[in-house]
Amino acid sequence: MAERFALPDGDSVIGEFGQARAEHQDTLLDIARHNGLGYNEIRLANEHVDTWLPGDGQEVVLPKRYILPATPREGLVLNIPEMRLYHYTSSEDGEPGVVTYPLGVGRQGWSTPYETTTVTAKVADPAWYPPESIREEHAAEGDPLPSVVPAGPDNPLGAFAMRLGLPSYLIHGTNRPWGVGMRVSHGCIRLYPEHIEALFEEVEVGTVVRIINQPFKIGMKDEVLYLEVHPHLQEDKDQFANAYSQIVSRVLARIGPDTRFEVDWELAREVTEAAQGVPIAIGMRLPEVQATRAATVNPRRDLPLAAAGGAGRN
């Protein structure tokens, strides 16, 4: 289930939070896939729910609200720490829109590069030619690979693949859908089988692809300011060691000199430290210039994760 959203005019927050009720046979991975979510994002939003045995009747938060990445709204945007793809497209009547899908991305040591490239080819039922480095890795683990893996259920590329202008990197399906929303690949981008099939039909050769590193995003909707923070990749810990300072700078740049804006900086720090990967309202533009401290915004009224224990520290 991947949803198409109308592209907001001037705003940058799409979607809504939801809830699902687990049945006795469900795992969180089952619920995630059925609702177009990946493993990591559903785990972060449901930290107190057992991954493998949520329990019959257990309420599960569906974190299906997103801040659009700070990029041009065109083509494909792959935000690696978020493990999510955004496809900017148009509806049948020409209205701009966006579809978003969860991703499996490169594990540590096999990171997906941050580049702007294009889709250079589309291949149905692809064969897989494992690079020598991957064959050596598998051989060392006692799991030797052939020089070519033909199309079929044993092919890790799944039924569809799109080649990029980056040598050896693909956007493809998978025969192991549980890995979507995790760092499991050798740098390629994995989608659920049903999602790659839909994307394969919609994306044309030549489509621009932006692979980005935005663990935190700042957005606006209806005069309310939102902050969304994801765990950064382990290898980027130095780059984001002062994440809160970076977020403060970006929030101030976003609101500019508008003195009518009130920001709950304590909440912004809590959201940064919690890094639950969901948009949280941290401020808003007040209706009157003189309404400052007497009418300070209370963004906690809009916390979406009340059912999952809130966004702050426990």
Which domain-ending residue is among 153, 187, 212? 212
pLDDT, tens digit, 9 for 90 and up, residues 140-198: 676 666 667 787 787 889 999 999 998 878 999 998 898 898 887 666 799 999 999 99
The answer to which of 115-129, 265-279, 291-305 has the lowest mean pLDDT is: 291-305
As a whole-number percent, the residues of the chain with pLDDT over 90 amount to: 61
Q: Are 248 and 180 in the same domain?
A: no
pLDDT, tens digit, 9 for 90 and up, residues 190-236: 999 999 999 999 999 999 999 999 999 999 999 999 999 999 988 88
Query: Distance between CA atoms of 33 and 38, rounded to whole angstroms?
Result: 7
Q: Are 177 and 202 in the same domain?
A: yes
Indicate whether 126 belongs to any domain.
Answer: yes
Q: How many domains does the chain have?
A: 2
Indicate whether 294 belongs to any domain.
Answer: yes
Q: Are 128 and 260 in the same domain?
A: no
Which domain-ending residue is among 163, 182, 212? 212
Q: If you average pLDDT over residues 49-54, what whole number do you get?
A: 93
Domain boundaries, position 141: 4-16+64-212
The one-letter code for the residue type at 21 is R
Q: Are 79 and 190 in the same domain?
A: yes
Q: Which of 249, 242, 188, 192 is nearest to 218 (CA)?
A: 249
Indicate whether 30 belongs to any domain.
Answer: no
Q: Are 10 and 135 in the same domain?
A: yes
- 208 strand-pairing partners: 118
Mean of per-residue pLDDT scores for the chain: 85
Q: Are 199 and 239 in the same domain?
A: no
pLDDT number for residue 294: 39
Which domain-ending residue is among 212, 242, 275? 212
For residue 290, name the pLDDT band (cuts at 50, 70, 90): very low
Instruction: Give the CATH number for residue 166.
Output: 2.40.440.10
Query: Distance between CA atoms of 13 and 1, rounded to whole angstroms?
Result: 19
Q: Are 140 and 250 in the same domain?
A: no
Query: Distance between CA atoms of 91 and 72, rounded to whole angstroms?
Result: 18
Query: Distance between CA atoms of 187 and 183, rounded to whole angstroms?
Result: 9
Q: Are 191 and 230 in the same domain?
A: no
Query: Distance between CA atoms of 14 and 77, rounded to whole angstroms?
Result: 15
- Residue 108 sits at φ, ψ, to 5 deg, of -60, 135
Just list the catalytic residues.
172, 188
Indicate whether 296 belongs to any domain.
Answer: yes
Both structure tokens of 102:
């969860």
